[in-house]
Amino acid sequence: MGYTVSEKILARASGKEEARAGEIVKASVDVAMMPDLTTILAVNAMKAMGVEKIWDTDKVVIILDHVAPASTLLAAEIHRDIRKFAKEQELKHLYDVNSGVCHQVLPEKGHVKPGRLVIGADSHTCTHGAFGAFATGVGSTDMGAILATGKTWLRVPETIKVKVDGRLPDWVAPKDVILHTAGQIGADGATYDALEFAGETIKDMSVSGRMTLCNMAIEMGGKAGIVEPDDKTFDFLNERTDGVYDPVHADDNAVYKSTLNVDAESLEPQIACPHKVDNVKPISEVAGLKINQAFVGSCTNGRLEDLEVAASILQGRSVHEDVRLLVVPASAEVYLQALDSGVIQDLVEAGAMFSNPSCGACFGGHIGLLAPGEVGLTSSNRNFRGRQGSPEAWVYLASPAVTAASAVAGEITHPRDL
Structure confidence at residue 364 (pLDDT): 79
Sheet holding 31-35, edge to edge: 94-95, 60-63, 31-35, 117-120, 134-137
- Let me know if residue 210 belongs to a domain: yes
Residues 281 and 239 grouped into a single domain: no
Residues 217 and 310 grouped into a single domain: no
Structure confidence at residue 360 (pLDDT): 80
Structure confidence at residue 226 (pLDDT): 98
Q: What is the 3-state secondary structure (H, E, C) of the chain?
A: CECCHHHHHHHHHCCCCCCCCCCEEEEECCEEEEEHHHHHHHHHHHHHCCCCCCCCCCCEEEECCCCCCCCCHHHHHHHHHHHHHHHHHCCCCEECCCCECHHHHHHHCCCCCCCCEEEECCHHHHHHHHHCCEEEECCHHHHHHHHHHCEEEEECCCEEEEEEECCCCCCCCHHHHHHHHHHHHCCCCCCCCEEEEECHHHHHCCHHHHHHHHHHHHHHCCCEEEECCCHHHHHHHHCCCCCCCCCCCCCCCECCCEEEEEEHHHCCCEEECCCCCCCEEEHHHCCCCECCEEEEEHHHHCCHHHHHHHHHHHCCCCCCCCCEEEEECCEHHHHHHHHHHCHHHHHHHHCCEECCCCCCCCCCCCCCCECCCCEEEECCCCCCCCCCECCCCEEEECCHHHHHHHHHHCECCCHHHC
Q: Alpha-carbon distance 117 to 131, whole Å?
A: 11
Of the candidates 201, 354, 344, the residue with the CA atom closest to the CA atom of residue 264: 201
Residues 242 and 275 grouped into a single domain: no
pLDDT digits (tens, 9 = 90+) for 266-302: 999 999 999 999 999 999 999 999 999 999 999 999 9
The two beta strands, 270-272 and 280-282, are: antiparallel
- Let me know if residue 258 belongs to a domain: no
Supply the CATH number for residue 295's domain: 3.30.499.10
Q: Alpha-carbon distance 399 to 405, whole Å?
A: 10
Residues 227 and 283 grouped into a single domain: no
- Let me know if residue 260 belongs to a domain: no
Query: Do 312 and 89 contact (CB within 8 A), yes or no?
Result: no
- Let me know if residue 265 belongs to a domain: no
Query: Do 376 and 388 contact (CB within 8 A), yes or no?
Result: yes
- Let me know if residue 302 belongs to a domain: yes
- Let me know if residue 231 belongs to a domain: yes
Residues 350 and 314 grouped into a single domain: yes
Buried b or exposed e, range 214-241, using 16+ CB within 10 angstroms: bbbbbbbbbbbbbbbbbebbbebbeeeb
Residues 325 and 399 grouped into a single domain: yes
Structure confidence at residue 85 (pLDDT): 97
Residues 107 and 188 grouped into a single domain: yes
Structure confidence at residue 386 (pLDDT): 83
pTM for the whole structure: 0.95
- Let me know if residue 262 belongs to a domain: no
163: which strand partners?
198, 261
Q: What is the number of structural domains in the chain? A: 2
Q: Which domain holds residue 71?
A: 5-248
Q: Alpha-carbon distance 221 to 189, whole Å?
A: 7
Query: Do 322 and 293 contact (CB within 8 A), yes or no?
Result: no
- Classify residue 407 as exposed, middle or buried by CB count within 10 Å of its CB (0-12, 13-18, 19+): buried
Residues 280 and 348 grouped into a single domain: yes
Q: Alpha-carbon distance 196 to 214, whole Å?
A: 9
Q: Alpha-carbon distance 211 to 104, whole Å?
A: 9
The rounded average pLDDT for each run of 10 residues, N- to C-terminus, in the chain (418 residues) is 96 96 98 96 97 96 94 95 97 96 97 98 97 97 98 98 97 98 97 98 98 98 98 96 94 96 97 96 97 96 98 96 97 97 96 92 84 96 87 97 98 96
The amino acid sitting at 139 is: G
Q: Alpha-carbon distance 405 to 286, whole Å?
A: 14
> CA separation (Å) from 328 to 125, 300, 338?
19, 11, 11
Crossing angle for the helix pair 207-215 and 304-314, nearest 10 degrees? 100
Residues 25 and 170 grouped into a single domain: yes
Query: Do 238 and 232 contact (CB within 8 A), yes or no?
Result: no
Query: Do 45 and 143 contact (CB within 8 A), yes or no?
Result: yes
Residues 79 and 17 grouped into a single domain: yes
Residues 193 and 289 grouped into a single domain: no
Residues 196 and 128 grouped into a single domain: yes
- Let me know if residue 253 belongs to a domain: no
